[in-house]
Amino acid sequence: MTQEANLKTRKILLVIGDAAEVTDTLYPWMRLQEDDYQVVLAAPEVRVYSLVQHEQPQSWDITQESPGYHLHSDIAFRDIKPEEYAGLLVSGGRAPEYIRYDECLIHAVRWLVDAGRPVGSICHGIEVLATAGVIKGKRITTVAKCRFDAEVCGATYLDAPVVVDGNIITARGARDGWQWMREYLKALKQMKNDKFTKQ
């Protein structure tokens, strides 16, 4: 694909797996389509995945998980051609705990970050970016219980709704999703005016 064609791409990878969080997944999936982006759901395999809802009851110190909606993925990680995409987002929930070990996904994340394309994570999604080694020296945010995952991989944790550092856009959790998407869409629009560093 030529650089000119890359600049015109309207495809965004949204990374999911079983136990991806409902709001972390469905909000960006819908919001990006409102701006005429094609959102491609990427997962370990092409099949139906079970999303979950995370809430923290008043008397609990941790989140409670309950079943959510189901989504059918569009593409398996091994079939991703990162040069075809304008950016990538990693949903939260428990899915990142196991999808972070997929070498094809990690390759795609590294390629897109190196190419200067917007890459974002919300909540536990930081575990994928941390495993890919793309947050070293970066300022990020995530849900507080994933702070260690980020810091041990060389990032600086900030307790803020959204943090933008270069082409990496991170958010704490579901309630911050609207701010996350606002900054992510800004990054996509800015990218149209910049040249990619990788073709």
* CATH code of residue 154: 3.40.50.880
Amino acid 8: pLDDT: 61
The verdict on residue 198 lying in a domain is no
pTM for the whole structure:
0.90
Cα separation, 143 vs 125, in Å, equals 9
Amino acid 139: pLDDT: 98
The verdict on residue 197 lying in a domain is no
Give pLDDT tens digits along the chain (199 positions): 444 444 467 999 999 999 999 999 999 999 999 999 999 999 999 999 999 887 777 887 777 776 778 999 999 999 999 999 999 999 999 999 999 999 999 999 999 999 999 999 999 999 999 999 999 999 999 999 999 999 999 999 999 999 999 999 999 999 999 999 999 999 999 987 665 444 4
Q: Where are the beta strands (DSSP E) in 73-197?
A: 75-76, 87-90, 119-122, 139-140, 156-157, 162-165, 168-171
Amino acid 1: pLDDT: 44
The verdict on residue 185 lying in a domain is yes
**Total of domains in the chain:** 1
Q: Per the residue annotation, which of 54, 72, 107, 124 is the catalytic one?
A: 124
The verdict on residue 140 lying in a domain is yes
The verdict on residue 72 lying in a domain is yes
The verdict on residue 182 lying in a domain is yes
Q: Choose among 43, 53, 47, 56: nearest CA to 21.
A: 53
Q: Look up the domain containing 101 and give its range.
A: 3-191
The verdict on residue 199 lying in a domain is no
Residue 148 C-beta-side C-alpha neighbours within 13 Å: 1
The verdict on residue 119 lying in a domain is yes
Asked about 124 being catalytic, the answer comes back as: yes
